[in-house]
Structure formats: structure tokens, C-alpha cells
Amino acid sequence: MFFFILFATSAAVIYFPIEKEEEITFDFDTSGFLSLSANTTAQLSNLQNMQYKGQIQIGSPPQKFKVIFDTGSSWLWVVSKDCDKCHSVTNSFNKKKSATFVDREIPKTLIYGKGACAGNISSDLVFIGDKGTLNPVMQDFILVSKDKDFSGMQADGILGMGFDGLSDSIPPLIQNMKESSIIENATFSVFLSDNGYGKSNTNLQSMVIIGGYDLDKYAKEKEITYLPVITYPGYWTVRLSRIFIDSTPIVLASSLAIVDTGTSFLIGPTTEVNQIYSYLQRSFGCSLSNSNLICDCGNSHSLSDYPDLGFVFSDNVKFTLSPHHYFMKSGRNCLLLMATMGDSYMWVLGDVFLRKYYTIYDMDNRRVGFAESVNEDVSGEESSRIVRLLLVAGGMILCGVLLIGLRILYKKYTRRNRLPLDNSIDLPLRSNN
């Protein structure tokens, strides 16, 4: 479940209740989409700790859409009503019904860790919220006329919250809102509630604040630790110095980590993740099944027996995850919420990390801040409904879609804006006539 706050230029702050989605058809995928101003309401949903989505509106009069809020990309896109080969969506954009729609007639293709889409760059009024009370901003976005391999995405599109290096120097929505004087600061913060993969809990509902942050409500300590951001080519990227599991250092080939709300797991280079696997296998008898690590959490060992996982960043700043954060428990077994993405040179700090730390994204000063969140540890507790979808006879863990997605996730971070993407995938555009 998600809440949304917006800071108006008049300093008004509005809190918004969020909808609750009980039963979903779950497609377990960590591949990047799943891998979020003034005076408005908005609803964001936590889909069992795997996808976070919320409502925006586009056009005149406004048309409503549920989009995934993704700090690992920068484009806003929604599906066109004219798309006949797109993933199943609840809402699609009808350009003929918007008096303010402009087709810029510039084709654009985007490739994600799993999935791709193509359409024309367009412009229209965009509102964040579900009641249209926000001052609208004219925003460039992609009106998608073709997509593929988005069958597991339960949303009408994606709202990217990265830098303009990932959007052909076109200002992303947050930057555009500041330039249009809707918000004073190009800053937003994200509190990801831990709903225990669908279990009942007493944690606060999730929250995005555009234009500011609220340490009093969402952080255990009232101090923010900031790390400088390396924005090339536009991600929220920080320097990574070393990783520890307990007191054992992991030999790093990487030096970068991307902070990404659009990725569910911790994702890392194969050589480094394998060192963590090996430590847990030697120390606790964990076993690999289908490239995923399963550990005993109810026979010889309890979850609390496992060590902390530490990430050390620039200036010797260290953040840790307890086993309650990086494991998902079902019965007497635990699944390590970590996966590899080949011979990459970076880590992706997905929602596993971000549920532990309330995160402040400061575009103006090119930095990202962290404060330990008020979440209680519930992810490592009993999560049988979800894990039963992952654990099957013979120890098979993740479906083939996940494995394929992880192998190509690296493209999201190293190829998407370095290759001529319009030629990277067979997604011919529909006629705009």
C-alpha cells in the first residue's frame, strides 16, 4: 500500500489514503519494472513488495492511468488506445479526446530489463493525482503503440524519476515541475512500506513526497546521510567501496551501485554474488537450486543466526541489512532475495534495500540521502503464499521468465542509452493516421 504527499509552492502538504489490492496474479520478476506539485490526491499500491504503482492523469479532460514509479528510468510512457499488440492494461490514452495533445512525431523505443516499448514522443498536460487538483504541467511523454514482454506488469505505463540523461535531455516530470514553478525544489523522497509480501502488519503505509521529505514520520533517526550521485548516463548512481557479510569482505570488481525503486531484489555482478552464496553455503549449508539460494531457517538454524550484510560507500559510509531484510521465509526455508546479472560492473539496490532506508532524491544538488526507516522487520517472517509460488517439488525456485529477465537486466543500465535503440528491437510503429 502506498501514500502520496505533495508539497505545494504555498507549503501546503496533503496526505492521501491508498487503495489495498488483496489478490493478484503474481508474476515473480526482478527485471527492472518490476523495475513513483501541489494540491492533489494520488493512490499508490504495494503489490506484495514487488511492484509499486500510482495514479497520474494526462490530457484535457484528464484521463487516468496507473503507472509504476521508477527511479531507474526517466521517461513517462502510457499505452495508446490505438495499440493492438500491447500488454493488458486497465486504461489506455485516447489522444482524440484530449484538446491539449500534441504529437511531436518523433519515434522512440525503450528497452527495459524485461520488455520493450515503442511509440511517438508526444506532449500533453500531466497531473499527479486522482482528483485533478494539481496545477498541470505540459510534459513530453511517449505514447506507446507497440510493446512486448510486459505481461507481468500490472500497470498502464511507467513514470521515470531519473535524470534527463536517460530521456534525451528532455526534462523528466520532477525537473519539469520545478522549472514550471509548481514545486520549489527538484527533490522527492520515497518510503517503501514492508507489507511482508502480502502479510498483515502494523507498518506505516508507503509514501512518496514530491518537493521534500518527512523524517519525523518515516525515519528512526532525524539525520540524513547523503551520498554524491554520479548521474551518467542518468541513473541515481553512487560509488560503492566494498561489501561485507558478517566480517568477511567480498572482493569487488564493481565500484558503482544504482538506487532503483523499479527493481525488487538486490542485483549484483555474478562474481560478487557468488562469493556471498559461497559464504552462506559453507557456513550454513545453504543450497543452490536453479541459480537461487535456499537456506535452512527452521531446523538447524533460525533466521536470526544469519549475519548482517554491509554495503560501504564513499567516505566510508556503511549501511547494513539484517537477514530479516534480505531473506524471505516460508516454513523452515528461506529464499535469498539476491540475484546476478552477468558480468556487469555495478550493483542495483532495489526494494530489498530501500525498505530498510527512507530515501531522499535531491536532483538540484545531485545527491541521494538515506535515513533508517521506521519499518519493522516483517519480510523475513512467514511468507508462505508468495514463496509457494517460488518453491516447488525438487527445489525449483524461479520461473524461466525471471531467469531470462535477470540475464538481460544489464541492458537496462549499460545499453539502453548507448545503442541506437530504435534499431534494437523489432517493434514497428503503428500509423498515426
Radius of gyration of the chain (CA): 21
As a whole number of angstroms, the distance between CA 206 and CA 236 comes to: 20
Among 350, 415, 360, smallest CA distance to 33 is for: 350
Strand partners, 376: none
Exposed e or buried b per residue across 164-182, where buried means at least 16 C-beta atoms within 10 angstroms of its C-beta: bebbeebbbbbbbbbeeeb
Read off φ and ψ for residue 267, nearest 5 degrees: -125, 135
Any idea what DSSP says for residue 172?
Answer: P
The residue annotated as part of the active site, out of 70, 147, 156, 296, is 70
The residue annotated as part of the active site, out of 29, 149, 260, 362, is 260
- What value, to the nearest 5°, has the Cα angle with vertex 360 and ends 358 and 363? 160
As a whole number of angstroms, the distance between CA 214 and CA 413 comes to: 30
The overall longest dimension of the chain from CA atoms, in Å, is 66
Task: Compute CA 273 distance to the chain's CA centroid, rounded to the nearest angstrom.
Answer: 20
Q: Which helix (H) or strand (E) holds 369?
A: strand 367-372
- Note if 70 is an active site residue: yes
Cβ(2)–Cβ(207) below 8 Å: yes
- Note if 426 is an active site residue: no
As a whole number of angstroms, the distance between CA 40 and CA 209 comes to: 12
The single-letter code of the amino acid at 289 is: S
For the annotated catalytic residues, the residue numbers are: 70, 260
